[in-house]
Amino acid sequence: MLELEAAGVAVVDAEGRTRTLLHPTTLTLTERRVAVVGANGSGKSTLVRLLDGLIAPTTGAVRVHGLDTRRDGARVRGIVGLLFADPEAQLLMPTPLEDVALSLRHLPLRERAERATALLADVGLGGHLHQPVATLSGGQKQLLALTSVLAAEPAVLLADEPTTLLDLRWQAHVEALLDALPQQVVTVTHDLDAAARAERVLVVERGRVVADGAPADAIGAYRALMAGPPPELAPASSREAR
């Protein structure tokens, strides 16, 4: 279970002004599949990254399976996996075999290569064990990143726009893998078809959750919200009213 209790995030900019990235938010997420949608810069990634302790709330509290992310951050990160939009941000080793083995540090050394080989074979990368990561396609890199994250056996997977950089074929492949996972998965996405397959959808706008519910209702609210101009292009009177 993922819990936000009046959790908010504010930062102070270089000029000393306080900027709110996420207003105090209270949520309890028990669903196996949750999607988070919103415009660029709306605060959706901030909300999701609170859940692995990479960002600490400046107000309120965040709990993952009962663990406070501020107090028990290391333990939280042991049960939460994070998949980024750009796999280059998290692939650390020169070959797929070495990268997945790095996530298997909990196993005896002699077992890591064997287990990594099996995991890579399961996702179709068995023929690329020793290939330089830099030569893999974008889809193969994202598949490798996902395999490396899952090798650590997280209870929760946070996926921050995991298919944004992929072509349609690889997008469909990665989404099918995510849909089939037994873990609780929280996905930040602009893909409304993917969001529609979730059990619950959150809509974030200007640092607030403005809609929360069944996919059809929440996505409908998001479409209506996006029908207007971006806030920075709206007339001044309209911005003030909001």
Closest CA to 8 of 186, 209, 160: 209
Task: Describe the crossing of helices 168-180 and 138-151 by its angle, rounded to 10 degrees.
Answer: 10
Cβ partners under 8 Å of residue 86, min gap 6: 165
- Indicate whether 8 belongs to any domain: no
Query: How remote is the C-alpha of 234 from its chain's centroid?
Result: 30
Q: What is the DSSP letter of 51?
A: G
Closest CA to 33 of 200, 208, 242, 196: 200
pLDDT in tens, the chain (242 residues): 999 999 999 999 888 889 999 999 999 999 999 999 999 899 999 999 999 998 999 999 999 999 999 999 999 999 999 999 899 989 999 999 999 999 998 899 889 999 999 999 998 899 999 999 999 999 999 999 999 999 999 999 999 998 888 888 888 888 888 999 999 999 999 999 999 999 999 999 999 999 999 999 999 999 999 887 666 655 554 444 33
* CA dist., res. 80 & res. 185, Å (int): 10
- Indicate whether 187 belongs to any domain: yes
- Indicate whether 233 belongs to any domain: no
DSSP sequence for 217-238 = HHHHHHHHHHTSPPGGGS-HHH
- Indicate whether 190 belongs to any domain: yes
CATH number of the domain where residue 197 is located: 3.40.50.300
- Indicate whether 64 belongs to any domain: no
User: For residue 187, what are the domain limits?
Assistant: 31-48+79-228
What pLDDT is attached to residue 63? 97
Query: How remote is the C-alpha of 67 from its chain's centroid?
Result: 19
- Indicate whether 60 belongs to any domain: no
What pLDDT is attached to residue 236? 52
Q: Which two tokens stand for residue 106?
A: 């909990």
Using the Cα atoms of residue 45, residue 2, residue 225 and residue 221 in order, give the sign of their dihedral: positive
- Indicate whether 205 belongs to any domain: yes
What pLDDT is attached to residue 240? 42
Domain count, the chain: 1
- Indicate whether 132 belongs to any domain: yes
pTM (whole model) above 0.85: yes
